């Protein structure tokens, strides 16, 4: 039987909610192909998560267990899933494109002499052939990618490409099978320590109603002042893309994106930000988005409500003046 397996993500015994998106993706692919959808959770003492997943429309849920799977290490996860997939073959193995998955999936796919198509945003079934859509060139293009290896084909889905709230519930709870895997001594080489957050955040951008965000288009540290003036005129907070914080031009706690804060203001005004996916996941939930960028093809324009193609240094000064006038 042709099987699609979704491996949901858990960390320290908690389901990562992005996993629901992957189940939605699995359900959509199963509907198009007629293949059977199953799910698995990998960890130690994670039966409760298997139970949550079994309430969704899936044929079966596997609870893959070993004490060596907690805490997460790439060695143990790759070993456990390789052993499992050796006994329960699948055509497709789907996972969310999280930091954890990127850490072990390439290893697992290689250990099984096959491949992983990463950061996928869409699926089409054309003439009996699955085609996966993924971004390339930092979102400037999308590619249709086909799979030419031996099964399974691993596929990881970008955050937000399928909707968690569209996941279908099952008519009855799916059966759960507990599978214990043997992870022998010596397999796990890394010793992970506790997960932590760096010193307390000084600004909470998640509460801001108006955010002016600067990207590399601001060119130099001294030009940050211009963006600050715009933010002040609007009565908003200043934020930035990652390179600005990497350079130390603004503190880390003003970074928006997958490795920074996720914000949803009434207005997000992006100055000289290209719109890489890792940035967009942190701000695409904003009520309205205005982008100023000199490149008319910049991916940020794909999600902008209002777009200005041009040099920010020409546009921002008169914009500040107009705002002051309007507020006066």
Partner 1 sequence: MKILVCMKQVPQKDAPLKLNDAGTWIREDVSYEVNEPDAFALEEALRQKEKHTGEVVVVTAGPARSLQVLREALAKGADRAIHLEDDAFVGLDAYNTARAIAAAIKDEKFDLIFTGLQSDDYGYAQTGVILAQILGLPHATIIMQIEKTDGGIRVKRELEAGFFQFVDMPLPAVLTIQSGINKLRYATLIGIKQAKGKPMRKVTMAEVQSAMGGNLQKIERLHVPQKSKNTEFLEGPPAEVAKKLVEKLKNELRVI
Ligand X SMILES: Cc1cc2nc3c(=O)[nH]c(=O)nc-3n(C[C@H](O)[C@H](O)[C@H](O)COP(=O)(O)OP(=O)(O)OC[C@H]3O[C@@H](n4cnc5c(N)ncnc54)[C@H](O)[C@@H]3O)c2cc1C
- Rule CB under 8 A: which of 283-302 touch partner 1? 287-288, 290, 295, 297, 299, 301-302
Q: With CB cut-offs between 5 and 8 Å by kind, which of partner 1, ligand X, none does residue 208 bind?
A: none
Strands 210-214 and 60-65: unpaired
Instruction: Tally the C-alpha atoms within 13 A of residue 100's C-alpha that lie toward its C-beta.
Output: 23
Span 282-311, contacts to ligand X by CB under 6 A: 282, 292-295, 298, 311
Q: From the list 2, 45, 89, 99, which residue makes contact with partner 1 (rule: CB under 8 A)?
A: 99
Answer for the pair 60, 4: CB distance below 8 angstroms, yes or no.
no
Q: From the list 85, 274, 286, 319, which residue makes contact with ligand X (rule: CB under 6 A)?
A: 274
236 to 36, 227, 262, 302, 324: CA distances (angstroms):
50, 11, 16, 23, 14
Q: For residues 146 and 129, give the distance between their C-alpha atoms in angstroms, rounded to a whole number.
A: 8
Residue 52 CA from chain centroid, whole number: 21
Q: For residues 8 and 287, give the distance between their C-alpha atoms in angstroms, rounded to a whole number.
A: 30
Answer for the pair 152, 91: CB distance below 8 angstroms, yes or no.
yes
Whole-number minimum distance, CB 25 to ligand X, in Å? 21
Residue 174 touching partner 1 (CB under 8 A):
no
Q: What is the CA radius of gyration of the chain?
A: 23
Number of residues that bind ligand X (CB under 6 A): 27
Residue 230 touching partner 1 (CB under 8 A):
no
Q: With CB cut-offs between 5 and 8 Å by kind, which of partner 1, ligand X, none does residue 194 bind?
A: partner 1
Number of residues that bind partner 1 (CB under 8 A): 92
Q: With CB cut-offs between 5 and 8 Å by kind, which of partner 1, ligand X, none does residue 272 bind?
A: ligand X
Answer for the pair 119, 18: CB distance below 8 angstroms, yes or no.
no
Element spanning 36, H or E? strand 36-43
Whole-number minimum distance, CB 33 to partner 1, in Å? 18
Q: For residues 3 and 93, give the distance between their C-alpha atoms in angstroms, rounded to a whole number.
A: 9
Q: With CB cut-offs between 5 and 8 Å by kind, which of ligand X, partner 1, none does residue 191 bind?
A: partner 1
DSSP category for residue 207 = G
Q: For residues 230 and 150, give the distance between their C-alpha atoms in angstroms, rounded to a whole number.
A: 55
Q: For partner 1, which is the closer residue by CB, 67 or 219?
A: 219
Whole-number minimum distance, CB 225 to partner 1, in Å? 18
Stretch that binds partner 1, among 20-28, 35-43, 111-119, 171-179 (CB under 8 A): 111-119
Whole-number minimum distance, CB 312 to partner 1, in Å? 10
Residue 266 touching partner 1 (CB under 8 A):
yes
Q: Which residues make Cβ contacts (< 8 Å) with residue 79, sequence separation at least 6?
A: 181, 183, 187
Whole-number minimum distance, CB 57 to partner 1, in Å? 27
Q: From the list 28, 59, 203, 210, which residue makes contact with partner 1 (rule: CB under 8 A)?
A: 210
For ligand X, the binding residues (CB under 6 A) are: 215-217, 241-243, 255-260, 272-274, 276, 278-279, 282, 292-295, 298, 311-313
């Amino acid at each position: 039987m042709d099987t699609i397996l979704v491996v949901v993500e858990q960390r320290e015994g908690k389901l990562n909610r992005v996993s629901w998106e992957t189940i939605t993706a699995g359900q959509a692919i199963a509907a198009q192909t007629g293949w059977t959808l199953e799910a698995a959770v990998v960890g130690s003492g994670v039966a409760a998560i298997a139970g949550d997943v079994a309430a969704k429309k899936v044929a079966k849920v596997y609870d893959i267990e070993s004490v060596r799977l907690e805490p997460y290490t790439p060695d143990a996860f790759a070993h456990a899933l390789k052993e499992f997939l050796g006994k329960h073959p699948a055509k497709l193995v789907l996972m969310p494109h999280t930091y954890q998955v990127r850490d072990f999936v390439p290893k697992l796919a290689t250990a099984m002499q096959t491949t992983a198509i990463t950061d996928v945003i869409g699926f089409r079934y054309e003439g009996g052939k699955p085609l996966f859509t993924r971004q390339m060139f930092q979102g400037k293009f999308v590619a249709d990618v086909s799979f030419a290896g031996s099964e399974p084909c691993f596929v990881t889905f970008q955050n937000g490409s399928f909707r968690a709230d569209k996941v279908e519930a099952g008519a009855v709870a799916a059966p759960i099978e507990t599978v214990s895997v043997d992870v022998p001594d010596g397999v796990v080489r890394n010793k992970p320590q506790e997960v932590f957050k760096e010193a307390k955040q000084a600004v909470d951008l998640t509460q801001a109603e108006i955010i002016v965000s600067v990207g590399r288009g601001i060119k130099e540290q001294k030009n940050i002042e211009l963006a600050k003036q715009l933010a002040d005129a609007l009565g908003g907070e200043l934020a930035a893309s990652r390179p600005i914080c990497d350079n130390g031009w603004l503190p880390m706690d003003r970074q928006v994106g997958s490795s920074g804060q996720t914000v949803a203001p009434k207005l997000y005004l992006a100055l000289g930000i290209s719109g890489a996916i890792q940035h967009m996941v942190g701000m695409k939930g904003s009520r309205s988005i205005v982008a100023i960028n000199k490149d008319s093809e910049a991916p940020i324009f794909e999600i902008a409500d209002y777009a200005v193609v041009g040099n920010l240094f020409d546009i921002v000064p008169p914009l500040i003046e107009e705002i002051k006038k309007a507020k006066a």
